[in-house]
Amino acid sequence: MADNYSDNDIIDDDLYEALNDEEIAELLEEEQSSSENDKANGRKRRHRFPRWIFWLIAIALSLNVIAILPKTFSIPAIDFLITSAELSSDPTIRTYKEAVVVIETEDSKGTGFSVTSDGTIITNHHVIEGSQTITVAFPEQGLFEAEVIAQDPSVDLAVLKVDEANLPHLALSDNGKWHEQESIYFIGNPLRFNGIANEGEIIGSVKLDDWDQEVFMLQAPVYRGNSGSPVIQNEEVIGIIFATLDHEDYGKVGLAIPIDYYYQLINK
């Protein structure tokens, strides 16, 4: 039996922030530039404070960066890079990755995936919401401008189209069935990386407010940027990752929209 959760319980926090080491670089550049100018002008530079103090400050700032590193780029986030490298040695996973795209708008980045050879792409509505221009990047075929041909904010889905032929694409499950406790693969563009493959399993379903159908939960390392990632089981896409949820029993889990929602959208 599915648990019930309010939409307000859904989270999709950014688990990565740029390390704040720009100040260190600026200080070092200023110091180097000033020293070179003094040498060029034949002057001995007068220091406002001893050089050792400057380096002490720089080292202290560097240590602060190291101290916050586990918080901004966690060990699990490093683990998914290792997992992706291992999975990508499988020719089947490499084939899947060819159909997974980077979707960029004026102020966001997410994931999508091609489902037809002539450029039909599935992603989340929140990835492209309010955008004037949408760029789709295939790993091998390059960049394309895309237009929205269908969307439904109530189930966080959008369908895009690019003008191209012979594109790699993924097979969709035609019955929408998924199996708990069986492994799944998903590929996306989490954090600042592209084309990251990972694995997990389906652990159950959950009913969200105002949704007609249940979504399923993944025990898997889902990060910001994985929105729009295909969930693949038995070589077919069975769902689309769209958020994460803090579950009272399982902790943080990924949430995926069943592929049935896509069929309902395009058949309206």
Pick the closest to residue 195 from 79, 81, 74, 76 (CA basis). 81
112: left (phi over 0), alpha (psi -120 to 50) or beta: beta
Which of 122, 144, 162 finishes a domain?
A: 162
Are 9 and 31 in the same domain? no
Residue 81 lies in a domain: no
Residue 86 lies in a domain: no
DSSP helix, strand, coil percent of the chain (3-state; round to 5):
30, 35, 35
CB 131 within 8 A of CB 106: yes
Residue 78 lies in a domain: no
pLDDT band at 2 (very low <50, low <70, confident <90, very high): low
CA atoms within 13 A on the CB side of 145: 4
Calculate mean pLDDT across residues 26-38. Answer: 51
Q: Please identify which residue in the block is written with the tokens 């007609």.
A: 212
Residue 85 lies in a domain: no
Are 260 and 192 in the same domain? yes
The reported pLDDT for the residue numbered 36 is 55
CA distance 65 to 231: 35
| 3-class SS letters over 27-74 | HHHHHHHHHHHHHHCCCCCCCCCCHHHHHHHHHHHHHHHHHHHHHHCC
Calculate mean pLDDT across residues 243-250. Answer: 88
Q: What mean pLDDT is reported for the chain?
A: 80
Residue 134 lies in a domain: yes
Are 37 and 99 in the same domain? no
**Greater confidence, 268 or 70?**
268
Are 41 and 110 in the same domain? no
The structural domain count of the chain equals 3
Which of 162, 197, 212 finishes a domain?
A: 162
The reported pLDDT for the residue numbered 23 is 44
**Greater confidence, 21 or 91?**
91
Residue 190 lies in a domain: yes
DSSP string, 161-181: EES-SS---PPBPSS----TT
The reported pLDDT for the residue numbered 18 is 33
Which of 162, 187, 204 finishes a domain?
A: 162
CA distance 252 to 244: 7
**Greater confidence, 77 or 6?**
77
Domain span at 45: 22-72
- Known catalytic residues? 126, 156, 227
Residue 257 lies in a domain: yes
Are 129 and 158 in the same domain? yes
Tell me: pLDDT of 113 over 60. Answer: yes
